[in-house]
Amino acid sequence: MRLLIVEDEDVLRAQLVEHFAVNGTVVEEAADGRDALYLGSEFPCDLAIVDLGLPEISGIDVIRQWRQAGHEFPILILTARSNWQDKVEGLEAGADDYVTKPFHLEEVQARVTALMRRAAGHASSQVQYGPINIDTGARTVSREGEAVELTTYEYNTLAYLVHHAGKVISKTELTEHLYDQDYDRDSNVLEVFVGRLRKKLDPGGDLKPIATIRGAGYRFDLERT
């Protein structure tokens, strides 16, 4: 997942970045509305966390301009403003949810997980594809009730493919959403991760959950049950 965190308070922004980066999330950060508007418009983004009280351009205006430009990624508001009018204004501008400061990082994590789940059309944190169960809350995977041990990057690769199940995802798109900008895009590391995933999810070779579309990328082919 590629996350954009927009917060002008340096200490709080650093705490959020550290919290999400631990699980291999690619995090972009901005300290003002102008940089936020640019990053959210010019680079891939799966979800944005946006403080309303930003310098340069307000969080409300950043959100509104993103939506007017057609950007549909989920947006979570962070706000120190306790009155309901500010929250309503943020939601009406195009945000999907909000957290009021001060907050616990666990609450922000839970809301981010819920927004990503909702964006993928999943009502529950547990998603079943044939014999494969994925718990997006616990970040665990099992096959026929048996745990499948995945590394952080293997899980993140699987989660992105499942989030776009049935759609062909290019290697470039996967790289942009899973790795930092300085990642070596010419390496075959992504192919290694996909190869490991296939072996772990489909040891018998009969399920074929991840298809390679020659010249195009990968596609998660199992249907939800």
CATH code where residue 190 lies: 1.10.10.10
Q: Round the average pLDDT of the chain to a whole number and report it.
A: 87
In this structure, are 14 and 114 located in the same domain?
A: yes
Across the range 146-152, mean pLDDT stands at 89
pLDDT at 220: 93
Distance from C-alpha of 34 to C-alpha of 114, rounded to nearest angstrom: 28
Across the range 164-192, mean pLDDT stands at 75
Please state the three-class secondary structure of 128-194 as a single string.
EECCEEEECCCCEEEECCEEECCCHHHHHHHHHHHHCCCCCECHHHHHHHHCCCCCCCCCCHHHHHH
Q: Which of 98, 119, 140 is the last residue of a domain?
A: 119
Distance from C-alpha of 85 to C-alpha of 128, rounded to nearest angstrom: 39
Residue whose structure tokens are 């959100």: 63
In this structure, are 99 and 40 located in the same domain?
A: yes
Pairing of strands 47-51, 75-79: parallel
Q: Which of 58, 90, 119 is the last residue of a domain?
A: 119
pLDDT at 123: 60
Q: Which of 119, 141, 166 is the last residue of a domain?
A: 119
Query: In total, how many domains does the chain have?
Result: 2
pLDDT at 189 over 80: no
Does some domain include residue 225? Answer: no
In this structure, are 105 and 141 located in the same domain?
A: no
Convert the pLDDT of each residue in 57-103 to its tens digit: 999 999 999 999 999 899 999 987 666 777 888 889 999 998 988 88
pLDDT at 57: 96
